[in-house]
Amino acid sequence: MKKSGKKLMSVVLAGAMALSLAACGGQSADATTAAETATTAETTTAAETTTAADTTEAETEAVEEEAAGENQQADIVVIGAGGAGMTAAIQAVQDGATDVVILEKMPITGGNTTRSTGGLNAAETPYQEADNIEDSIELFIEDTMKGGKELNDKDLVTVMAENSAAAVDWVNDIGGDLSVVGMFGGASVKRIHRPSDTSAVGPMLVKALNDKVAELKIPVLLETKAEKILVDDSGKVSGVTATDKDGREFTIDCTAVVLATGGFGANSEMVVEYKPDLAGFCTTNHGGATGDGIVMAKELGADFVDMEQIQTHPTVNPDTQTMYTEGVRGNGAILVNKEGKRFVDELETRDVVSAAILEQTDKVCYLVFDQAVRDSLAAIESYIKAGIVTEADTPEELGEAIGVDGTALAETLTAYAGYQAAGKDEEFDRESMELPLDQPKYYAALCAPAIHHTMGGVKIDTQTQVLKEDGSAIPGLFAAGEVTGGVHGGNRLGGNAVTDIVVFGRIAGSMAEDYVADNGGHTEAEITAEEDTAGAVPAVQGDYKDGVYEGTGKGNNGDITVEVTVEGGSIVSITLKEHGETAGIYEAAEKGVVEEIIKNQTAEVDAVSGATNTSKGIMEAVSAALEEAK
């Protein structure tokens, strides 16, 4: 491959990642359970021998334009910096790859992985053994096939199950924490592995991945959208064309591509194209899940499978689009309708529970639990802080607070406690009843189904090679994660998506590295990563009174208090003093919004995509502080 002689510099920061949750009509809202590593730095280009000290602004722009017009080079290009993409990149480097680059169209990494609330399903792990849980690869396969209505590609399911225990070990080896085993819908036994503090898996996993990417110095080009995968005359992958945040187009010549762009749950038009009855549904997906990889693969003649199989998640707050983890139900919560009655086995598969909710009054229900359930699951605290959970001292008072017949609700809870004590659910045959739900306080959260996961996608084989309609592989093209189809069939079991992205992400990274080694070998990295150490500086003169001021605004999980320092009439620093934001979400907003406020000397700036509510909270807090500085 031809070297351009210029380096495309990617600024990579370690930390947590921001999560966006797309609302109705394609609008984004923050998810309260996911984390993101804020890598909000710009992609810049510079000549190798040019330094900031002796380059004028005009010269720098000229160099950028020149470099942007020339082909760059990498051995492996990973499209998408979500869980599958980062896993693939890390595994490739661990296997010996020397020249890997990740392209990410969003200003932050993490994708849908950042909002994953459950855990990673795995069988025959030491954590199950320690808890005397009898599980097997065969049972894992059986549960997944049954949950997927037998539409799954059994070969892919088998690979996932067989490699699931190793996936847990790998996540823990790179700095993650999967050590607690719990129950989830569709599983015959406790199989889902979660963080030791029982918090959501997404924040933990994305932070671990992001930290490892930074440690391995794998460059991530943010706000860089892959436009087209290129192939040579023989049909082999030869490069990727992309566009940066300033609209400059460039090409990266490469030997292999890993397609990890995620699903299309935030693309309402594409959703309705494949499943018209979901028109008007909201979504739990981040704003970047728009099916870009589907489009690029289609241009190459890739085959697709199960495109009409689109899953809704049953327990999503219809006002904020916050997704309640299935762990709440797994740990004992029940679902009641507006009449205060249960109406389904709460641990049924997502499609069954979603359908049952849509048959209730106003097509909504309430997730009801007690203090014991709250104490058992740290993830619940984010819902409490977000103000989307109602609480009361008695079932009767809780019913009154949410507009449900309190007597009926109390009777439902009393009956359930009896079923739990007897070990038999007389109404819906729920098998796992962890707690009797009789410990005050009592809690209720409004729920409705929302588009959650697109099970269909590009067809791959067990080596993650992307296949054409005739069954032949596209040489050099691999895929992993939600962009692929076949793993989950007609319904995805909670906990299997994280297993999917780690297992097949690792395979894709290994296979891409093997392909490079067999087709020209490794090259020296041309696109490199460096740390961003520059601080924000005012671009205009402010007009404020010097001093230190405090203000408070409403963030995603409650109040955000900031301290604003004004010197020489300009805002020179903004510090978040107190807040309850989810670790990982606020970092993107803290960096991006604070820099823009200082640069423009106004709190009226754009929110960071993926951390919208936190961004607005910071802006509101700064505005309040600046009232005193006028």
Task: Report the chain's terminal Cα–Cα distance, integer Å.
Answer: 59
pLDDT value of position 335: 98
pLDDT value of position 582: 64
Q: Identify residue 558 by its one-letter amino acid code.
A: G
> What are 439-470's pLDDT values in tens digits?
999 999 999 999 999 999 999 999 999 999 99
User: Does residue 47 or residue 272 have the better pLDDT?
Assistant: 272
> What are 395-408's pLDDT values in tens digits?
999 999 999 999 99
Residue 217 clears pLDDT 60, i.e. is over it: yes
Strands, sheet with 192-194, edge to edge from the N-terminal-most edge strand: 120-121, 192-194, 180-182
User: Does residue 4 or residue 627 have the better pLDDT?
Assistant: 627
Euclidean distance between CA atoms 587 and 566, whole angstroms: 22
Burial of 5 (0-12, 13-18, 19+ CB in 10 A): exposed
Residues 6+ positions from 72 with CB-CB distance below 8 Å: 4, 6, 8, 250, 251, 252, 253, 526, 527
Annotated catalytic, 350?
yes
Query: Could you tell me the pLDDT band of residue 33, with boundaries at 50, 70 and 90?
Result: very low
Average pLDDT, the chain: 88
Query: Could you tell me the pLDDT band of residue 53, with boundaries at 50, 70 and 90?
Result: very low
Give the three-state DSSP class for 78. strand
Closest C-alpha to 125, from 499, 542, 598 = 499
Euclidean distance between CA atoms 103 and 281, whole angstroms: 30
The domains located in the chain, with CATH, are 1-50+60-309+455-534 (3.50.50.60), 312-449 (3.90.700.10), 547-627 (3.90.1010.20)
> What are 521-546's pLDDT values in tens digits?
999 999 987 655 456 889 999 999 99
Catalytic: which of 350, 374, 492, 506? 350
Query: Could you tell me the pLDDT band of residue 210, with boundaries at 50, 70 and 90?
Result: very high
CB atoms under 10 Å from CB of 121, counted, come to: 29
As a whole number, mean pLDDT of residues 562-578 equals: 93
Residues 6+ positions from 130 with CB-CB distance below 8 Å: none
Residue 50 clears pLDDT 80, i.e. is over it: no
pLDDT value of position 163: 98
Residue 159 in tokens: 């690979």
Residue 65 clears pLDDT 70, i.e. is over it: no
Residue 19 DSSP class: -
pLDDT value of position 56: 37
Residue 585 clears pLDDT 70, i.e. is over it: no
Of the chain, the percentage scoring pLDDT greater than 90 comes to 76
Residue 10 clears pLDDT 60, i.e. is over it: no
Give the three-state DSSP class for 439. coil
Residue 52 clears pLDDT 50, i.e. is over it: no
Residue 553 in tokens: 């605004």
Euclidean distance between CA atoms 593 and 38, whole angstroms: 11
Give the three-state DSSP class for 613. helix
Residue 250 clears pLDDT 80, i.e. is over it: yes
The pairing of strands 442-454 and 310-316 is: antiparallel
As a whole number, mean pLDDT of residues 343-372 equals: 95
> What are 280-335's pLDDT values in tens digits?
888 999 889 999 999 999 999 999 999 999 999 999 999 888 889 989 999 999 99
Q: Identify residue 199 by its one-letter amino acid code.
A: S
Lowest-confidence segment of 150-159, 546-555, 574-583 by average pLDDT: 574-583
**In b/e form, how buried is each residue of 90-100, taking b as 16+ CB within 10 angstroms?**
bbbbbbebbbb
Euclidean distance between CA atoms 297 and 426, whole angstroms: 50
Query: Could you tell me the pLDDT band of residue 51, with boundaries at 50, 70 and 90?
Result: very low
As a whole number, mean pLDDT of residues 361-371 equals: 97
